[in-house]
Amino acid sequence: MRLDKLLANSGYGTRSEIKDILRAGRVRLHEDVLSDPAFHITDEQARFLTLDGIPVTSSRYLYFCLNKPDNYLTAMSDDRLPCVGDLLPRALQSKKISPVGRLDYHTTGVLLLTNDGELSHRLTSPKWHQKKVYLVTYTGESLTDKEVALFAKGMTLMEAGHAPEKLKPAELTLLSDQQCRLTLTEGKTHQVKRMMAFVGRPVIALHRESIGTLTLRDGQKPGEMYPLTPDEIASLKENTDM
Q: What's the CA gap between 191 and 182, in Å, rounded? A: 11
Give the residue with the Cβ less far from ligand URA, 181 or 193: 193
Torsion angle of C-alpha atoms 8, 12, 17, 21, degrees rounded to 10: -110
> Is 210 in a helix, a strand, or coil?
strand
Q: What's the CA gap between 28 and 23, in Å, rounded? A: 12
CB-CB neighbours of 238 under 10 Å: 11
Catalytic option among 32, 86, 104, 218: 104
Question: Whole-number minimum distance, CB 204 to ligand URA, in Å?
Answer: 12
DSSP secondary structure string, 144-207? Answer: PHHHHHHHHH--EE--TTS--EE----EEEEEETTEEEEEESS--TTHHHHHHHHTT--EEEEE
Residues of this chain that bind ligand URA (CB under 6 A): 103-104, 107, 190-193, 206
Give the residue with the Cβ less far from ligand URA, 66 or 206: 206
Question: Whole-number minimum distance, CB 104 to ligand URA, in Å?
Answer: 4
Give the residue with the Cβ less far from ligand URA, 89 or 154: 154
Task: Examine the residue annotation and report whether 231 is marked as an active-site residue of this protein.
Answer: no
Give the residue with the Cβ less far from ligand URA, 27 or 110: 110
Question: Whole-number minimum distance, CB 107 to ligand URA, in Å?
Answer: 3
Pairing state between β 54-55 and 49-51: antiparallel
Q: Smallest Cα–Cα separation from 63: which of 215, 188, 233?
A: 233
Question: Whole-number minimum distance, CB 101 to ligand URA, in Å?
Answer: 8
Give the residue with the Cβ less far from ligand URA, 36 or 159: 159
Length of the chain: 242
* Amino acid at site 158: M
* Active site members: 104
